[in-house]
Amino acid sequence: MAHIFVTGGAGFIGGNFVLDWFATQGAHADGIVNIDKLTYAGNLKTLTPLESDPRHVFSRTDICDRDALDTLFAQYKPRAVVHFAAESHVDRSIHGPAEFIQTNIVGTFTLLEAARAYWNTLDDGDKAAFRFLHVSTDEVFGSLSETDPQFSETTAYAPNSPYSASKAASDHLVRAYHHTYGMPVLTTNCSNNYGPYHFPEKLIPLVIANALGGKPLPIYGDGKNVRDWLYVGDHCAAIREVLARGCLGETYNVGGWNEKTNLEVVHTLCDLLDDMRPKATGSYRDQITFVKDRPGHDRRYAIDARKLERELGWKPAETFETGLRKTVQWYLDNQAWVQDVMSGEYRNWVSKQYAA
Ligand code: NAD
Ligand code: TYD
């Protein structure tokens, strides 16, 4: 059976990508070798539906471990690598950037080197067909003012947090491997995702979990920072398109055309919960609390995703309203998953981050 490698496939987006791959590609889907270190953000429970599916192979492997990667490449001879594995939370990168440098920069470099060594062993046909798709973020472009145009593929990089700086570095490495070695790479830069299996340290799942738990809903600063939001299933569909038909060496912006202030997002979530799981008295909005701002908090992100629509015909299927309703319903239906990931290390994080 032909295989693709997915790194970080036990995390939020990677997990959705793996599940969607088998759900959408039909009986003849290539197998997936899922390479994940299982940090606090990786959760095998997300992959339970694939437990007895022989097309899915899980390997607990650190992308910084070159020997282990070489062994996997030699064993499975993948036709592509889809690279999600990363440290992904801005607030954690502020408390401790070292892991971000290690995984996002050194890890991507190690993976590129292993992929290049393997790619060089392929015959001309397989070499031309091979793909290395690097999944990145809109945060590499820095912060916009209210009136600036959206980020396009040619916007200059200006990362502001240790997280976005480490992702920017990894994007540059991927680009360099195309220019210098001719490796067949593709890069996607996507806006904020939301949806099922999202770890509740990020805004949307945190607010849902805290609302249901009767806890404060913490809004940083004035709540007017703007993010563009995309349903995770739409992001996964975009990645499948770019993998299948993207132009080598190109980058593609992926976005939802949903610019919202954080306060708008939290209000919408509260209103959905008031409708779908009403409280005995009052509204979930009563739990909103303004807290100290994030240091260096980027004001606005916005994505111009027209290139992807023009060249590959992709556009999001979900609106913010339909995607958010689906997401809230998923969290209401999957409290066991949430309780499971909110144990142990998660509690330490919450007491450190929200102590003040
Ligand atoms: P996540 O934190 O939920 O998952 C990351 C996964 O990578 C986890 O399963 C973790 O165990 C694994 N991992 C971490 N370090 C590893 C290592 N050294 N070796 C192997 N595996 C390791 O992240 P996510 O939100 O799913 O993001 C996935 C990718 O998409 C990241 O590259 C991120 O930068 C990018 N991205 C995320 C968003 C978003 O809104 N979440 C938006 C755009 C781009
Ligand atoms: P987050 O989900 O951490 O994603 P990112 O920082 O990568 O965009 O945060 C989304 C927005 O929500 C960001 O502007 C920070 C803000 N935020 C809060 O206001 N309160 C919170 O508790 C969290 C986690 C985030």
Q: At 252, is the secondary structure helix, strand, or coil?
A: strand
pTM for the model stands at 0.98
C-beta of 3 in contact with ligand 2 (< 6 A): no
Amino acid at position 47, single letter: L
Q: Give 28-90 as a DSSP string.
A: TPPEEEEEE---TT--GGGGGGGTT-TTEEEEE--TT-HHHHHHHHHHH--SEEEE--S---H
What is the per-residue pLDDT across 293-318, written as a single tens digit (0 to 9) for each? 999 999 999 999 999 999 999 999 99
Residues with CB under 6 A from ligand 1: 7-8, 10-14, 36-39, 41-42, 62-64, 84-88, 103, 107, 135-137, 167, 190, 192-193, 199
pLDDT at position 26 is: 82
Sign of CA dihedral 136, 20, 243, 111: positive
Beta strands in 171-234 (DSSP E): 185-190, 192-194, 217-220, 226-231
Q: Judging by DSSP bridges, how do beta strands 80-83 and 56-60 pair with one another?
A: unpaired
Indicate the fold that domain 3-194+229-257+300-317 takes in CATH: Rossmann fold (3.40.50)
160's tokens: 């502001």
Query: What are the sequence ranges of the domains in the chain?
Result: 3-194+229-257+300-317
Ligand 2: atom nearest CA of 265 is 12
What is the per-residue pLDDT across 68-125, written as a single tens digit (0 to 9) for each? 999 999 999 999 999 999 999 999 999 999 999 999 999 999 999 999 999 999 999 9
Q: At 221, is the secondary structure helix, strand, or coil?
A: coil
Average pLDDT for 316-327: 97
36's tokens: 């994940």
Query: Cβ–Cβ contacts within 10 Å for residue 160, how many?
Result: 18
Ligand nearest to the Cα of 230, by number: 1
| Closest to 10 in 3D by CA, of 260, 261, 337, 253 | 337
